[in-house]
Structure formats: C-alpha cells, structure tokens
C-alpha cells in the first residue's frame, strides 16, 4: 500500500487526472443520450453510473493507450515524458491500474440491465483495438469515434431496454465530431508522426485537413439536429444551442487555419464546450426532466 501511495502522483498523471477535457468529450454526448432516452431526467442511479463510468473507462483507456504507444511516444516531444514512456511506471503497472479501473466501471454496469451489460463488452473491445489501429488504418480517428460514442447506445439500452434507430444515428453523428476534434489533435503531432510512421487522419487528409475538419463538424451538427428535432414540436432553445456550437466551430476554424501546434491543440482542448452546448439544447428539448 505504501508503494502504491508513493506512486499515486504518477498513476494520476497516467490517467490524465489533471486534464479533464478527455472525459468531458465522452460525458456530454453520453448525458445527452441519457436525457433523450428518458425524455427528461434519467434518475440519479443512471446519472451516477454513466458519469462515473465515463471517467473510469476514459482513464483505463489512457493506460492501455500508453502501453501500446510507448515505443512511438518516446519520439514525440509532447508525449516523451508520459509515465510509461519515461519508464517511471512499468507496462505491467499501467495495465494493472487500467484493469482495476475497467473492473470498477463494469461493476457499475452490472447495476443496470442485461442489454447494457452485453453492449459493454463490445465497447471494451473497441477501446482495446483503437491504440493499435493507427498502425494499420489510415483514419484511426474513426475507430476512436466509435469508442468515444458507445456511451450513446448504452445509455438508450439502460433506459429503454433496447437501442432504437435514433441512438445509432446519434452515434454516427458523434463519430464525425470525434473525427473533427481528434484530427485537430493529430495535426499537433503530424511532423513527428510522419517521421516515426504512425497513420493519422491529419496525415491521410494532407492539405485538405482543415476543410475536412469543418466538414466533419457540419455533419455532426446536422445529424444531431435532424435526429433531435424529428417528430418534436418547438425546439427554439435548440437553435440557440446550435448557434453557440456553430460559433465555436468558426472560432476553431480560425485557430487551426495556419496549422500551428498551439492553435490546433487549443482547438482540441476546448472542444468539450461544443458538446456542452448541444447538451444544454437537449435539456431544453426534454424540458429539463
């Protein structure tokens, strides 16, 4: 126990505890799905399960990712000092921490229903596959998009006991958002990734990267708007929420226009506010519960 406490700061660094932007990117679409599935407040039980589960699984994913990427990370200035890459935390330790966090998340899922439990295995499989996708897939961000969007169908399964078509449509829309912000993230390390041979959307898209990011944003906002307003009356507040998200997209376009590392990384870190804006719109559409 004393050894664990001594290494606690390193373990917290391993799971990016001081960088909440990562789990906020997962949280807002998941909470949006919960509210939509319940047509209002989903209840404290599911709110706690999915909120805490999101944080735990994102943290576990960081552990898996750092072990898988340690040979690459040491050649990238931004990631060279990560605990596993720098040797301060062993691969076994990192996987152990990740395993404990994943088991804790699964324990939360066990308090839901059989549908949600079954789909959690698929979500875990995609999360494990993603770190290795960049070795073989030209757009590994698409794999991450599936992993980061799986909270949506799981939320519907937990509330309704099944996954309707609109949950899958929202997943596809959210996938485009992940493509947008993770391409921005990949643009930060493009020079290093080219040198070490990693495949990313920023490299694959080349000089069309900025245009593609903006297209991904438009598809994300359009799909969510189409799905959420289908069959609903009103929705005035949604348009204000959409306008707030669109204004941020315009700002992000300016940040990444010159493809500077600083601008691209800033745009990535602030993306969770886009998701938050749409969550506010969902709250309005469902009457806040």
Distance CA 121, CA 207 (A): 38
Count of structural domains within the chain: 1
Q: What are the b/e assignments for 111-145, b being 16+ CB within 10 Å?
A: ebeebbbebbeebbebbbebbebbeebebbbbbbb
Q: What is the pLDDT of residue 134?
A: 80
Task: Provide the residue range defining the domain that includes 223.
Answer: 2-285
Residue 199: name the closest of 270, 128, 130, 123 by CA.
Answer: 130
Supply the pTM of this predicted model. Answer: 0.93
Cβ(200)–Cβ(140) under 8 Å?
A: yes
pLDDT digits (tens, 9 = 90+) for 77-110: 777 788 888 878 888 888 898 999 999 999 999 9
Q: What is the pLDDT of residue 5?
A: 65
Place of tokens 């735990």: 56
Taking CA atoms, 225 is separated from 12, 46, 163, 243, 279, in Å, by 37, 25, 19, 11, 12
Residue 252, token pair as written in the block: 């992000």
Low-confidence ranges of the chain (pLDDT < 70): 1-6, 231-235, 288-289
- Roughly how many angstroms between the first and final C-alpha of the chain, as a whole number? 44
| DSSP codes, 178-216 | HHHHHHHHHHHTHHHHHHHT---HHHHHGGGHHHHHHHH
Q: What is the pLDDT of residue 2?
A: 64
Q: What is the pLDDT of residue 80?
A: 73
pLDDT digits (tens, 9 = 90+) for 218-230: 999 999 999 988 7
CATH number of domain containing 140: 1.10.357.140
Q: What is the pLDDT of residue 3?
A: 60
Place of tokens 């958002």: 177
């Amino acid at each position: 126990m004393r050894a664990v406490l001594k290494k606690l700061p390193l373990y917290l660094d391993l799971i990016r505890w001081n960088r909440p932007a990562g789990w906020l990117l997962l949280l807002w679409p998941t909470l949006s799905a919960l509210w939509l599935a319940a047509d209002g407040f989903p209840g404290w039980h599911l709110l706690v399960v999915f909120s805490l589960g999101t944080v735990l699984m994102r943290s576990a994913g960081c552990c898996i990712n750092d072990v898988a990427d340690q040979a690459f990370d040491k050649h990238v200035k931004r990631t060279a000092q990560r605990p596993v890459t720098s040797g301060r935390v062993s691969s076994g330790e990192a996987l152990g921490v990740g395993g404990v966090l994943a088991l804790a998340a699964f324990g939360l899922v066990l308090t839901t229903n059989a549908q949600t439990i079954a789909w959690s295995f698929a979500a875990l499989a995609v999360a494990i596959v993603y770190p290795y996708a960049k070795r073989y897939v030209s757009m590994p961000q698409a794999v991450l998009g599936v992993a980061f969007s799986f909270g949506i169908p799981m939320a519907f399964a937990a509330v309704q006991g099944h996954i309707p078509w609109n949950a899958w449509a929202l997943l596809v829309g959210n996938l485009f958002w992940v493509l947008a912000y993770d391409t921005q993230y990949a643009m930060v390390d493009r020079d290093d990734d080219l040198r070490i041979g990693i495949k990313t959307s920023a490299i694959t898209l080349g000089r069309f990267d900025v245009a593609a990011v903006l297209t991904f944003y438009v598809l994300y906002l359009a799909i969510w708007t189409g799905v959420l307003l289908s069959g609903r009356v009103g929705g005035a507040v949604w348009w204000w929420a959409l306008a707030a998200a669109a204004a941020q997209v315009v700002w992000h376009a300016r940040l990444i226009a010159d493809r500077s590392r600083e601008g691209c990384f800033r745009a990535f870190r602030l993306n969770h506010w886009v998701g938050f804006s749409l969550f506010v719109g969902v709250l309005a559409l469902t009457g806040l519960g």
